[in-house]
Every structure is written in C-alpha cells, then in structure tokens.
Chain A
C-alpha cells in the first residue's frame, strides 16, 4: 500500500487541477485509496493555486507543513511559496526555465519549452508529469500515468495528444541518463 503526500502548485490556468486528477486516476489504477483537494473559484483566475493529493488511508485532503513527500511545481515562482510543505528529505520537482535557489538542477525541467517545441503549448502539465513520473520518488510508474492519461481523455485526438506529451517529458529524462 502506497502512502504518499503530494502538493501540486502553479498558476490558475496551468492545469494544476488536471494534474491532481491525473495522479488520483493513477492511484485508482494502482488500487490505492486517496483523497485530494482542488482550488476552485476566484483563485482560478490566473492566481497562485495548489492541489493536495494524499494517497493511502486518510480522512482529510489537507497536508501540513514539513510533511509532503513530493512537491510538483508548474511555475518557478510557486516553488518558494510551497517549499515549506516538503518534509525533510522530500523531493521537489519544478518546471522552470531558470535555476532555482536551494534546488538541484536535476530536479528542474523546462517543460514549457519542451511542450512549445513539440507544438503542445497547452500540455505543459502533461509533459512535466511524464518527466516527473520517471523520478524514483514518484509514487506511480510511467505506464500507470499513461493509462491514467488515456482514461482521462474525452476524445481520441486528446488521447493521442496526452500520450505524446507524456512521452515528450519522459524522453527528456531518458536522454539525460
């Protein structure tokens, strides 16, 4: 049984909620219980937003300071705003085009450029998660994320685009290795 607490942060419109649902879907595929929390309403108008995902037996979706296992950040500016949630020894993975203070370069990917170069400007979140799912700390493997992305696609065209975006992200990390 996986027990993992994740925080997903970014700006409204970046697909933070979608990413939390994708991970929840992966948990479902893996047979794990979970509870997540999504921001709605005013904050969605481009402001700072975050989703919380708790995998395992939990009642509340809220995650306390210094307790998150993983921090997934879609906008560089949101890293500093959410770092305090990470437990000592936890893993932060950040989408950024610049290096960040207190973060090893291998924990940073420029998913936005990758996505734009592949003509997938709306799928930055999926490119990012394809990359993140290859990290040893990530609670699900790439194929579980693939299945989740397939299940969440409303049309065959979206499905193809989702899978392509995941693959773009993953190939980035495989190249480095």
Chain B
C-alpha cells in the first residue's frame, strides 16, 4: 500500500510495523509530530500501545529504557538538544544494554532553525558508544526505525535513529508494510548485577560494549562499499555521504551534465557509527582522494581518520557550520574535482524577510508590555518557547537553555548581592511547559540559595511553540485520556514560595500593579522570590479563541501621528503601517485582528480606539 507521509509520521509507522508498544517523548521541533502520529496510527489500526508526553527528555528516555528491560520494544523521542537533557540516562543505558528493542530518536536541526545549537546527534552516539542510523528519505526513516529496533534487540544495545529536519518535515508517497500487534508480555528478570551495576561491573560492561561495537563494525549488512552500482567503472573521485546529505548529493549528481557526473562514485552510509572498517579500508585502497559529505559534524570523516586523503568538514572543503544546501554541495564538488579551495558564490543579497512574532492577540505580548512598564530597568532572564519572541519587544535579555531563566535570575541576584553592588530589578520569564520540564529544581535551588527576583510564569496552559501539546497542569495526556491535574500554584507553594499571585494578562493595569508589588516584595525585609502567574490560554486553541472579548478596534487616521510606537513596542502583526499621502500611518488589519483590544493602551496619542 502506498500512502503520503511526513518523515516524522514514517518514523511512527516504522515503530508500529516493528512491534514497538511503548513510546515516550518530549515535544521539540523537528521531532514533535512523531508521538501523535504513533498514537493516531495505532488507534486507526486498533492496536493497543502506550504513548506519553513525558515531562522532559530524561524522563522519556528512562521510561522507554525501563519498558525495554522487561522485554518490550520501546522508543524515546526528542530533539537534539533534548538528548543533552537525557544524556545521563543515555550514556548509562549503553553500558547496561537492553532486552527488548530500544530506539532513541533524536532529530537534528542543522542551521539551526528552531534550536539553540546545531549539534550532531551522531556525535553524541559516538560519545555514548551507541550505534546510529541516518535515514535519507521518509521511506528510509520507516525502514531504519524497524532496523534499529531489531538491531537493538540482537545486540542488546540502545540504538539511535538520527533524522534531520529536512527529513522530519519532508512529505513523500511511500510504501507501507503491515502493522501486526505485538504479542509480547513484560517480564522483568531480576539481575541486579546488570541493571544496578556497580563501578566494577561497569568496567566489564564497558568492555562487553566495545566487543559489540567491534563486531558491528565488521557486519557485512553495513558494508557501504557495496552501496553503489558494482559495474560502474572506476572513477577519479569518491564521495561518502549519509542521511539527507546523501539525498542532496544524489539529486545533484543526477542533475549534473553526464561528463561531470561520471567522474564521481557516491557511496551511501546507513550506519555512520560504528563505521564499517572493511568498507573504509577498501575505499582508501581504491581511491586517491575521498570527500565526505555529512551533516553537521565530521563523524564519518573522523572515523576514516586519514587527513591526507580525505576531505570534507575538517579541511574546509565543506563549511563547518550551517545547513547543507544544493549550492554548498555543488561548490564543494567543484572544489574537490578541481583541487581548489571552496568558493561559495555569495552573489545573492536578499531583502530581509519578515521575522516571526507572537500571534495577534497573544497574551504573552500583554505580559511583556506590562513587565516593561512595571520593571523598566530590569534584567529579563528569558527561556525557551514562543515567548522567546519577547526579544522583539525588548523584554527578554537572556536565553541559555530549557529552564535556565530561573537559575539565571537567581544567579544575577547573587552576583550583585554578594559583590555588595546595588541590585537591579530582576525577572525570570518562563512558560508553564518549560517550568514543568526543568524549572522546578531551579526554583527549589534559588529559594534555598536565598535569591530574590520576580518570577513571571506565562501560563497559557499548553506547549504552544511545538504545536500545543498538553502539560501536566490540566492533566490531559497524549492519548486524550484524563489524568489528575496539578495546579501550578500548589506546586510552587510546595517549592516553598509564599508570594504567588495569579493575574489575567489582558488586565494590563492589574498586571502592572501586581508586578510592581512583586518587585517590592523581593526587596522587603522578609521577602524573597515573588511569583506572578499570568494566566490566559494560547489562541492556537479554538476553545481559548472563543474566550476573546471580540472588540472592534480601529485607529483614527486623523489622530495617528505615525510615530510607530505601537508597532515597535507592541508588535502585533495586525498593526500595519501604511502610507497615507506620503505620511506614515498605522491601521488595523481586520482579517488578522483578533479583537483582543490589548493594543488600545499602547498608543501615546490615544488614536487606537474601541468601537
């Protein structure tokens, strides 16, 4: 059967076709569609599975690993920076090994387009000594997911699948295999010397792991020297590539004039780590010079380890940062062939694109506006989510990694306080989902250390940036069932915070007074951390849109002076500048305006009016 699928849906399909019954994930672009697709396809085929949005990636990986050591096939799904969060569990699981097939899917974001780094999960696999597959097309994503589960079971090792964003969000018509429900029953065989190994046993486990990897590096199934047409006559140049870098190169070679294309032989690596030793030696014997094309770090190149004869990311034949494009590969092929340094044609200067901004009516915008009014000279320690866009509004100064806002706010406080310097107003800005992910330990720590700051918790009751996955606050689970909710107030109180106020960010006056009060509390004798929960739902959720006040908002052309304050300080996409007989004016786009009325207070001329 042929069907159209997104790369991520194909990964989900691969899991189901190969009897994976337990899947845990934390959302993050470009991985977010995998878990919902897994649950949806299982439901439509009437197969009993368990899929859950874990609170963070570490918990997702630990959960899936545990299912696997009862013999069940399982998967943990995250984006590349999520694997950093899960690193402890990931590296340890390689030593312990598994019993049921266990695949970790870590999606990479070369560019980066939606991440803080463009790290290569294959490099992480190398660090953890875990085999890694690099699929090149959605069809291959489904196939390799199955291979990963089987190989994991065969070697009793975790296996990583590393799709890149181009593949995750590629859509293709592909061949599907049958889904047959798993008949397995969980069985936990007590083996504390294995599952709770002491350092002494860990050493033995490390040696056993090395043996498995050596065996795999000699496994004929992964001999990539046979990945090309055996009848092709010897060419002057060889290229080794994996994943989406391979598909780009293959398409490009197809488009080259024949007299150029026939000078190259393209080899495809499915399993970049551990790299097949025999294939490596064979190609080094066969070719004077080899170019490696891979994304984003020189994983294959390092393993070939012959700097004189191999080029790619390590010698600048391919740039060492940024996503690969057809232009870069074309230039690299050219430089490789002519033995000249890489020359990128940078002749195109594009007009600036429109930067992303918060949606019209987004409650975060109102929170940021109030924050700037209440704590004008503050340090705004930010975090990761839609609200990172607060940077456009001048209301966000830092963004390190998930959950860091609270730690950074605390540390700013300590740095000024312990140096005996005047302490500026400090605010941590974090969303509800990020708070659950890794904000809680940070809050416990900040209180313990005695830090003082305003914690502005933007509670839109969802994980908005990645497509509105539910959070533990409401208790709705990935499969739609209802679990117990967990009120943020109770949780924060449990962390020992006494000063908690909940405000509707649409009530801007109240927001400003509450934030000012909170700031006063942080400086009072018995004060400490003051939490302000700005609570209003994300407008991507239909039910929340129904709660909009539906106001009619207009700008009086005669009163607007075109100062542009509203478009700059409030940046609602529905506020559009236009040219009125040579003079700049702003109007409200009736199609995109949500009628929230929040921009009214921003205009110093009071030109924005209700009704």
Contact across chains for B348 and A84 when beta carbons are under 8 A apart: yes
Contact across chains for B325 and A64 when beta carbons are under 8 A apart: yes
Count contacts on B: residues with CB < 8 A to the other chain: 47
Given contacts A77-B354, A116-B591, contact A45 B359 (CB under 8 A): yes
Contact across chains for A41 and B354 when beta carbons are under 8 A apart: no
Docked complex Cα distance between A84 and B326 (Å): 13
| Cβ contacts A to B, 22 pairs, < 8 Å | A24-B171, A25-B4, A27-B173, A28-B173, A33-B173, A36-B171, A36-B172, A37-B169, A38-B6, A39-B113, A41-B30, A41-B114, A47-B354, A59-B136, A59-B248, A60-B166, A60-B247, A62-B251, A64-B330, A65-B348, A80-B351, A116-B591
Contact across chains for B169 and A38 when beta carbons are under 8 A apart: yes
Q: Which residues of B contact A45 (CB under 8 A)?
A: 356-359, 386, 389
Interface centre among A12, A24, A37, A42 (most CB of B within 10 A): A42
Is B137 positioned at the interface, with any CB of A under 8 Å from its CB? yes
Is A107 positioned at the interface, with any CB of B under 8 Å from its CB? no
Is B353 positioned at the interface, with any CB of A under 8 Å from its CB? yes
Q: Which residues of A contact B30 (CB under 8 A)?
A: 40-41
Partner of B166, one of A25, A37, A58, A80: A37
- The distance from the CB of B383 to the nearest CB of chain A, in whole angstroms, is 14
Contact across chains for A34 and B326 when beta carbons are under 8 A apart: no
Is B284 positioned at the interface, with any CB of A under 8 Å from its CB? no
| Residues of B in contact with A (beta carbons under 8 Å apart) | 4, 6, 29-30, 32, 113-114, 136-138, 165-166, 168-173, 244, 246-248, 250-252, 255, 325-327, 330, 348, 350-351, 353-359, 386, 389, 465-466, 573, 591-592
Docked complex Cα distance between A48 and B355 (Å): 7
Docked complex Cα distance between A11 and B327 (Å): 24
Docked complex Cα distance between A30 and B357 (Å): 38
A-B contact sample (4 more), CB < 8 A, given A43-B113, A62-B326: A12-B356, A38-B171, A65-B326, A78-B353
- The distance from the CB of B240 to the nearest CB of chain A, in whole angstroms, is 16
Docked complex Cα distance between A27 and B246 (Å): 25
Partner of A28, one of B4, B136, B170: B4
Given contacts A39-B169, A59-B251, A67-B326, contact A47 B350 (CB under 8 A): no
Partner of A46, one of B138, B172, B250, B357: B357
Docked complex Cα distance between A58 and B473 (Å): 45
- The distance from the CB of B595 to the nearest CB of chain A, in whole angstroms, is 14
Is A35 positioned at the interface, with any CB of B under 8 Å from its CB? yes
- The distance from the CB of B106 to the nearest CB of chain A, in whole angstroms, is 16
Q: Which residues of A contact B246 (CB under 8 A)?
A: 59
Partner of B29, one of A33, A41, A121: A41
Is A100 positioned at the interface, with any CB of B under 8 Å from its CB? no
Contact across chains for A48 and B353 when beta carbons are under 8 A apart: yes
Is A90 positioned at the interface, with any CB of B under 8 Å from its CB? no
- The distance from the CB of B558 to the nearest CB of chain A, in whole angstroms, is 24
- The distance from the CB of A35 to the nearest CB of chain B, in whole angstroms, is 5
Q: Which residues of B contact A41 (CB under 8 A)?
A: 29-30, 113-114, 465-466
Contact across chains for A61 and B354 when beta carbons are under 8 A apart: no
Q: Which residues of B contact A20 (CB under 8 A)?
A: 171
Chain A's closest residue to B6 (CB) is A38
Contact across chains for B171 and A21 when beta carbons are under 8 A apart: yes
Is A63 positioned at the interface, with any CB of B under 8 Å from its CB? yes
**Interface 1/0s, chain A 113-131, versus B by CB < 8 A?**
0001000010000000000
Contact across chains for A62 and B353 when beta carbons are under 8 A apart: no
Docked complex Cα distance between A58 and B252 (Å): 10
Is A44 positioned at the interface, with any CB of B under 8 Å from its CB? yes
Chain A's closest residue to B389 (CB) is A45
Docked complex Cα distance between A48 and B173 (Å): 27
Partner of B172, one of A12, A35, A65, A67: A35
Contact across chains for A46 and B173 when beta carbons are under 8 A apart: no
Q: Which residues of A contact B357 (CB under 8 A)?
A: 45-47
Docked complex Cα distance between A43 and B29 (Å): 11
Given contacts A25-B4, A60-B248, contact A67 B255 (CB under 8 A): yes
Docked complex Cα distance between A14 and B4 (Å): 22
Given contacts A36-B170, A65-B326, contact A60 B244 (CB under 8 A): yes
Partner of A24, one of B4, B330, B348: B4
Partner of B137, one of A35, A38, A40, A64: A35
Interfacial residues of chain A within 85-132, with CB under 8 A of chain B in the complex: 116, 121
Contact across chains for B170 and A37 when beta carbons are under 8 A apart: yes
Contact across chains for A62 and B325 when beta carbons are under 8 A apart: yes
Q: Which residues of A contact B29 (CB under 8 A)?
A: 40-42
- The distance from the CB of B497 to the nearest CB of chain A, in whole angstroms, is 31
Contact across chains for B356 and A61 when beta carbons are under 8 A apart: no
Q: Which residues of A contact B251 (CB under 8 A)?
A: 58-60, 62
Q: Which residues of B contact A37 (CB under 8 A)?
A: 166, 169-171
Q: Which residues of B contact A61 (CB under 8 A)?
A: 166, 170-171
Contact across chains for B113 and A46 when beta carbons are under 8 A apart: no
Contact across chains for B173 and A59 when beta carbons are under 8 A apart: no
